[in-house]
């Protein structure tokens, strides 16, 4: 078993490791080829420095990457995957040891589907502690979804070029009230949103109160399920909360995605969302279809 940086010809094998673990847990892929290319071409990622694969007898069986967020301390978001045919007790320690060497200081954060107990148990044996859960929630429509009821004074339109910075600023503001406030720089956010393959501005819905952005629902087709539309980012700025705007944006997204031929809509949410997002999603008929468990470890003697 050998730990090494990825080579150019590893792309398909890395994609298979990422998706084999997801299929084993929840029956569907996590990544498309376009999404993996978007990650590897991110402005802040250097694969030689930030990605490792585990190879055994010429076959990739493990993958890990690092994504630093924030400072004092830095939180190192680390995606660790083990092929379901491999021995997690052998692969996970190799990858976590590299992650600790690569990061050095701050907080190491990893995650795993809740159904993949072998990886979770390997984390715990290495001193990582469970700290949080997130859900993938979804709804399947039997007919046309109910239309939204907009709060007084609110209008909705779709994104137009030139509005990137205003939408980004609204996104950053709304994410201040989450468990992990977003530290993503503007160029990184643009790379993952308006510059990504398949970006469709007609699926970005912007709610306004006069000239001000009050909230947004930034949607896209699912990367891996052709029957599914995905609500990638949904947020309401503080002055417009508790007026039903989040529900109106979500229902508007349902109507628009259904009209585009998606009979199913999904999204991701922090299970302990301080803004009560899970209650909203349940109220409109969404159900939990999978769970991720997050683990952390303090590094550098903290």
Q: What is the pLDDT of residue 198?
A: 85
Model confidence pLDDT, tens digit, residues 95-141? 999 999 999 889 999 999 999 999 999 999 999 999 999 999 999 99
pLDDT of 301 strictly over 60: no
pLDDT of 261 strictly over 70: yes
Mean pLDDT of 169-198: 86
Between strands 287-299 and 51-56, the pairing is unpaired
Question: Does the pTM exceed 0.85?
Answer: yes
For the chain, the residue count is 302
Q: Which two tokens stand for residue 119?
A: 């990886």
Mean pLDDT of 5-32: 94
Q: Which two tokens stand for residue 27?
A: 């029956």
């Amino acid at each position: 078993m050998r730990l090494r940086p990825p080579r150019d010809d590893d792309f398909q094998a890395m994609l298979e490791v990422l998706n084999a673990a997801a299929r084993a847990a929840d029956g569907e892929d996590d990544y498309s080829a376009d999404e993996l290319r978007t990650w590897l071409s991110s402005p802040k990622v250097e694969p030689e420095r930030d990605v490792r694969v585990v190879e055994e007898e010429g076959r990739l069986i493990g993958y890990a990457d690092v994504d630093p967020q924030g400072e004092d301390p830095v939180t190192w978001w680390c995606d660790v995957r083990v092929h379901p045919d491999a021995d997690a007790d052998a692969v996970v320690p190799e990858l976590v040891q590299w992650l600790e060497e690569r990061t050095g200081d701050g907080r190491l954060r990893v995650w795993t589907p809740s159904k993949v107990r072998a990886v979770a148990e390997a984390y715990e044996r290495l001193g990582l502690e469970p700290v949080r859960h997130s859900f993938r929630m979804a709804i399947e429509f039997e007919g046309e979804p109910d239309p939204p009821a907009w709060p007084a004074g609110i209008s909705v339109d779709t994104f137009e070029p030139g509005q990137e910075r205003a939408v980004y600023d609204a996104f950053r503001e709304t994410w201040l009230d989450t468990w992990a406030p977003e530290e993503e720089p503007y160029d990184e956010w643009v790379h993952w949103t308006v510059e990504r393959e398949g970006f469709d501005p007609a699926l970005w819905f912007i709610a306004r109160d006069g000239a001000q952005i009050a909230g947004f629902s930034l949607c896209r087709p699912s990367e891996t399920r052709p029957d599914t539309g995905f609500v990638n980012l949904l947020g309401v700025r503080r002055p417009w909360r508790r007026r039903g705007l989040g529900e109106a944006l979500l229902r508007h997204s349902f109507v628009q995605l259904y009209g585009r031929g998606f009979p199913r809509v999904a999204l991701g949410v922090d299970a302990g969302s301080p803004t009560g997002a899970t209650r909203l999603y349940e109220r409109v008929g969404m159900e939990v279809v999978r769970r991720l468990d997050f683990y952390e470890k303090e590094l550098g003697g903290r």
